[in-house]
Structures are given as structure tokens and as C-alpha cells.
Amino acid sequence: MKLWDKGFSTDKKIDHFTVGNDRELDLHLAKYDVIASTAHAKMLGKIGLLNQDETTALVAELGVIGKSIEEGKFVIEDSFEDMHSKIEFLLTEKLADVGKKIHTARSRNDQVLVAMHLYLKDELKDIKIRTKSLFELLLALAEEHKEILLPGYTHLQIAMPSSFGLWFSAYAESLIDDLYFIEAAHKIADQNPLGSAAGYGSSFEIDRSFTTKELGFDTMKYNVVAAQMGRGKVEKATAFGMASIAATLSKLAMDICLYMSQNFDFISFPDELTTGSSIMPHKKNPDVFELVRAKCNKLQAVPNQLTLVVNNLPSGYHRDLQLVKEIIVPAIQDMKACLEIMTFSLKEVRVNTGILEDPKYDYLFSVDTLNELVQNGMPFRDAYQKMGREIQQGTFKPKRDITHMHEGSLGNLCLDGIRDKMI
């Protein structure tokens, strides 16, 4: 069944190519198409295009379909083009001509749009919740291990003292920045496009304010052409938000892979969170974090993928826009999986408490030793040159009893301030 069926069939190759994997992807969106269709039916009843009995019957049957989706019993067979055609078929099968009335004053274009907006709103909320769970874990780890020093690096060369408190809370605070993008994407998604039809509105006197309120949107996308142009744009906004989180997770995963290696030996994990080698019995591989790194690097490419699909399209609908669904839906699933596995694994992290006892880290303290000379009255440039000579001559003796107390330093992490910033 096709919503645009005019009584003749298209070639099977054309069907296969144009439908693609929409049926599989629509299983993620079908719930939202039912929710939007329910609001649409109520609106049609409100303006008199349906009578009360018809409205009641449609709402009740949509509830039955919604329950089947919730229970995992909803299937889109090959004979249907997408979720919309299957849902309309079920309504017509049950309610005859009343079921055929559900498509009045709308197009498949705004059906897809409103379902996607509702879906993205929920998924963005879920991503935010998962991100905040990781954020809280990172702050808890920072508090727990704040006294344990860790080498800081620039150019992958030993630089200055850091700490596990700084390391964990740095990633926590970075996630706040990422959620600013997620919030922006949610604001874009929180606009009702239903009623824009094929992108040019309708001659029916529909009540878009009613469906906006009924569907829980903050506002509507007023201009019907602007609503249609939002297709691809709302997905791209979501992708930028996820790409920001992914960049943070990828960097954290890279740190973990480095710090787990025997050359660093800063952290470890229980055996059950690592994998082995088929020939090397000593191996404890950080496969989880390598896959997080790779998946998150892929996620950072998603905004560019979407841009290349929608970049040079004029206003109005074009079939190119069908492809954004197959980019954004799997990306969301990957994003949630990476957040979940990172939180799950980091709960079991074990930190090495005696890292800086190794003499190779003595030079970490050169700046603090230099600063003590400055505090005792020596000009900075003279102190710097003195330190340089001692390091070159091998006579440098580090000052290990360091004190860093300004806001955000290893002695004053400002964890409460970071928590207060979280949105």
C-alpha cells in the first residue's frame, strides 16, 4: 500500500530503491506517528471535519495500534511502503471509510516531520539524562581521587603535575558545554510542523495551535514553507549536539587507552571489562574504549553527512530528504550506547596511587620549583634560566610539596561550582 497510489504500480526495482530501509527505521518512529495522528484526529473533530463518533473511533483505534507498537507486535510488511501506509491501512481495515479520513488536511511530508520532531525531542532528553549520569560519575571520581597526582602532558611530553581530580572533573565540565548544543537542538525540535502539509499549507481551516498544545510542543513552526525547510535541519542540529558529546567521549577514551598501557600504568580495570588475545595470554585489551573512540569519531562525521545531503536543495520537498532518517536514527542509537558503556565501565576504574614516585617524573616539578624562587624575590627570567642550567647539568632537585590553590587548580577543584553550571 502506498499513500500516493493512483491505481497503477511502479516497477519493483523502483520500489526497492525508493523505499530503501524505511520500514526498519520507521519502527523507531511509528509510536510518534500514532501520537501525532491522534492529535490530528482530535483537531479534525474540533473543526468539524469529523463528527464525534468518528473522532472517538479513530482515537480509540490509534490507541490499539499504539499499544501494539509498545508491545513490539507492530510489523511493517513489504507490501507497505512505510509506517504511515501501514497505520492508515489498519485504521481503514477496522473502521472502513472513517479510517480513510485520517489523512485529511495533511501530507506524508508533515507526518514525517512531526514524528521526527517528537522522536528527536524524546531522544535528546534521553541523551541529556545519560550525559548527566556520566557527568555525576566523573565528579564523584574526581572527589574520591582528588589527592592522587598524575602527570600532565603537553606535546605528549611531561609538563606539570595534574591529578585524577583534575582529569575526571575536566571531562565532567566539558560535558556541560556539550549539553548546551543538545539544549539548542531540543529548542529547534520543540516546534510543531504539523499542518504545513506538503509545505504550502491547506485550504482546510485547521487549528494548528490546538495540535501544538495537544502534542506538547513549546511553539509551532508558523511559516509552512519554513516548517518544510526544517526537514534535515532539525536532524543536523541534533547531530551537532551529539558530535560535541562524541568529541569529549573520544578524547576521554583515548586518554584511557593510553593510561591503561604498561608504558603509562596510571589506571586499570577488572579483567571482565577487558578482552584478551588469541595468542598472547598476558593481554588485557581496552577494546570497549577503542570502540567508543571509533564510534564517537564516526558520530563527529554525522553533521557533515547530513550537510552533504541537504546542502544545495532549494525550498520545498525533495526525495533526497528521505536519506536523513537513515543517518540520524542509527547515530542516536550509537550515541546512547557509547554513553551507557562509558558510564558502566568507569564505575570500575582503578587508579595507581604512586605514579609520581618514579624519578622520570621529577621534571614535572620544575615550574613549581622555579615559582618558589620567584616568590623568594628572584626575577622570573633569572629563575627560569637557573632551572634550565640545573636540568641540563643534572643537578635539578624538584620541589615536590606543591601548593596550587587558585580556582580550578588541583588544590581547589571547584566541584560544586562545576555542578552548579550543569543545565
Q: CB under 8 Å to 272, separation ≥6 — which residues?
A: none
Four-CA torsion 293, 298, 303, 305, nearest 10 degrees:
170
Mapped onto helix, strand or coil, the DSSP state of residue 157 is strand
Q: Say what the pLDDT of residue 6 is.
A: 45
Q: What's the alpha-carbon Rg for the chain, to the nearest Å? A: 29
- CA–CA distances in Å: residue 307 to residues 116, 230, 234, 245: 18, 13, 12, 19
Distance of alpha carbon 245 from alpha carbon 184, whole angstroms: 13
Q: Say what the pLDDT of residue 362 is.
A: 95
Q: Say what the pLDDT of residue 8 is.
A: 44
Q: Say what the pLDDT of residue 20 is.
A: 58
Distance of alpha carbon 59 from alpha carbon 64, whole angstroms: 9
Cell representation of residue 49: 471535519
What stretches in the chain show pLDDT beneath 70?
Answer: 1-20, 277-278, 281
Q: Say what the pLDDT of residue 50 is.
A: 98
β pairing state of 191-192 and 149-154: unpaired
Condensed to tens digits (0 to 9), the pLDDT of residues 93-110 reads 999 999 999 999 999 999
What is the set of domains in the chain, with CATH numbers? Answer: 12-104 (1.10.275.10), 116-151+164-355 (1.20.200.10), 357-421 (no CATH)
Q: What are the E-state strand segments in 285-416?
A: 350-351
Asked whether 250 and 297 are in contact (CB, 8 A), the reply is yes
Mapped onto helix, strand or coil, the DSSP state of residue 202 is coil
Cell representation of residue 324: 536523513
Condensed to tens digits (0 to 9), the pLDDT of residues 225-239 reads 999 999 999 999 999
